Amino acid sequence: MLDINLIRNQPELVKEGLRKRGEDPSIVDEVRELDAERRKLLHQVEQLRAERNRVSKRIPKIQDPQEREAKIQAMRELGERLKALEARLREVEDRLWERMAWIPNLPAPDVPVGEDESANVVVKQWGELPEFDFTPKPHWDLGPQIGIVDFERGVKMSGTRFFVLRGWGAKLQRALIQWMLDLHVEKHGYQELYPPFMVRERVIFASGQLPKFRDNLYHDAEEDYWWVPTAEVPLTAYHMDEILREEDLPLRYTAYTPCFRREKAAAGRDVRGMKRLHQFDKVEMYAYTTPEQSEAELQKMLRDAEETCQLLGLPYRVVQLCTGDLGFAARKTYDVEVWAAGVGEWLEVSSVSNVGDFQARRANIRYRPKEGGRPRYVHTLNGSGLGLPRVFIAIVENYQQPDGSIVVPQVLRPYMGVDVIPGSG
């Protein structure tokens, strides 16, 4: 949610931000009109209330019964007028907040301007692309061949975009989750949380998934439960409606959750293999900071994501998203993409974003400054650390050998118990 004061006082700035994103800026005028209407009504309502309060306080002290009755009668009439005005005020306010909820965050000033992903900027590349003296197989061939992935039975049970991991495949995924969590906790300073995977609608709204991305979410038809599309959702809501202490910031959390997405917007895309699934696993990093800390925290979180790739020996590049490609809540985002030799593509395994106070407003998360004074909204940041299926793909494809066996990256060996995943069954 944007600050209504910003929209009121600097509409051109807000419009410019929306234009850079490729959004229609006319919503700004719409909101400003509603806001003006709301303030006008609010003023009238408050004046009537003030009068009612003033007179009502005096009524019990009036001795003369006639005068008393006259005042009561007058207040009765005032009450009627007030009620009508209040109803109109409520209506305008509802419309105002409904509209506000659809406005995305504004891009940070240093985000490259561009229409879509073609304007994203590769800011860094790390590692050598692996070379093969044979043709490396894509995971959708190699996985079933050596019996670590079973797409057919996944589809049998649940349809397209579902899969089954078997044996070493299942263990590789489990090892990755465990190792990543340990890394973030022991080396990067995050605290591990295990949150609910189903949350209330209010929580989904707080992180900015609703109202705009309703189509991408699974939810219970009978009860108010929504399946999390990312751990970012429960990690945002963890401190919902709280006032934190500045001394405790930054607060860093990491969590493993499955993620559930309907992928309606990507219908028909990436249907082969495990690049895009209705259910996938992810380890997430999350931070709450002061406004002053958030840019440095963004850089730290990006380094943490990068280091995760480095330790796995996966070549990657860092892409800064342009204004047109930013997510709804983000003001600045870096994607980390690893090279997958079998499919011959860079695959996004992490997206690290500074959200500013956008989610904090929705979730009502503030902190009390050290020197005292009024609470301020925190800044929040989120980043994948990392998304599992694509890391799985890159490992399987980059570390494959001619006989179909897969060399296990050093850091995972203690978790796997073997150095090589055998090339048969």
Q: Which stretch binds RNA (CB under 7 A): 48-56, 171-179, 303-311, 398-406?
A: 48-56
* 43 is an interface residue for RNA by CB under 7 A: yes
Closer to RNA by CB, 52 or 276: give it.
Answer: 52
- Rounded to whole angstroms, how far apart are CA atoms 357 and 251? 15
* 244 is an interface residue for RNA by CB under 7 A: no
CA 75 to chain centroid: 50
DSSP 28-61: HHHHHHHHHHHHHHHHHHHHHHHHHHHHHHHGGG
Closer to RNA by CB, 40 or 214: give it.
Answer: 40
Show the binding pattern over residues 371-400: x = contacts RNA (CB under 7 A), - = does not: -x-xx-------------------------
The two three-digit tokens of residue 278, written as one number: 């209705």
* 32 is an interface residue for RNA by CB under 7 A: no
Taking a C-beta distance cutoff of 8 angstroms, is the pair 392, 340 a contact?
no
- Integer angstrom CA distances of residue 9 from 5, 214, 215, 362, 401: 6, 31, 34, 20, 62
- In one letter, which amino acid is 194? Y
- Integer angstrom CA distances of residue 135 from 71, 130, 138, 154, 403: 93, 12, 10, 27, 12
> Could you say which of 297, 331, 390, 397 is catalytic?
390
Query: What are the b/e assignments for 152-174, b being 16+ CB within 10 Å?
Result: eebeeeeeebbbbbbebbebbbe
Assess whether 351 carries a catalytic annotation. Answer: yes
- In one letter, which amino acid is 114? G
> Could you say which of 52, 348, 361, 405 is catalytic?
348
Taking a C-beta distance cutoff of 8 angstroms, is the pair 273, 139 a contact?
yes
In the set 19, 24, 29, 39, which binds RNA (CB under 7 A)? 39
Q: Which stretch binds RNA (CB under 7 A): 44-52, 207-215, 394-402, 409-417?
A: 44-52
Query: Shortest gap between Cβ of 5 and RNA (angstroms)?
Result: 7
* 83 is an interface residue for RNA by CB under 7 A: yes
Assess whether 348 carries a catalytic annotation. Answer: yes
Q: How many residues does the chain have?
A: 425
Assess whether 52 carries a catalytic annotation. Answer: no
Taking a C-beta distance cutoff of 8 angstroms, is the pair 166, 147 a contact?
yes
Show the binding pattern over residues 348-367: x = contacts RNA (CB under 7 A), - = does not: ------------------x-
Closer to RNA by CB, 49 or 212: give it.
Answer: 49
Q: Which stretch binds RNA (CB under 7 A): 39-47, 137-145, 278-286, 309-317?
A: 39-47
Closest among 143, 146, 231, 147 to 190, alpha carbons compared:
231
Query: Shortest gap between Cβ of 43 and RNA (angstroms)?
Result: 6
Q: Where are the alpha helices (DSSP H) in 313-370?
A: 358-363
Taking a C-beta distance cutoff of 8 angstroms, is the pair 141, 38 a contact?
no
> Could you say which of 49, 276, 361, 368 is catalytic?
276
> Could you say which of 350, 351, 353, 384 is catalytic?
351
* 79 is an interface residue for RNA by CB under 7 A: yes
* 62 is an interface residue for RNA by CB under 7 A: no
In the set 50, 121, 170, 265, which binds RNA (CB under 7 A)? 50
Query: Shortest gap between Cβ of 37 and RNA (angstroms)?
Result: 13
- Rounded to whole angstroms, how far apart are CA atoms 180 and 394? 16
Taking a C-beta distance cutoff of 8 angstroms, is the pair 40, 101 a contact?
no
* 65 is an interface residue for RNA by CB under 7 A: no
Q: Which stretch binds RNA (CB under 7 A): 56-64, 156-164, 252-260, 413-421?
A: 56-64
Closest among 196, 174, 301, 334 to 255, alpha carbons compared:
196
> Could you say which of 38, 161, 252, 261 is catalytic?
261
Q: Which stretch binds RNA (CB under 7 A): 35-43, 138-146, 150-158, 417-425?
A: 35-43
> Using CB under 7 A, which residues numbered 194 to 233 contact RNA?
224
Kindly list the catalytic residues.
Answer: 261, 276, 348, 351, 390
Q: Which residue ranges make up the site for RNA (CB under 7 A)?
A: 5, 39, 42-43, 45-47, 49-50, 52-57, 59-60, 72, 75-76, 79, 83, 90, 224, 243, 366, 372, 374-375
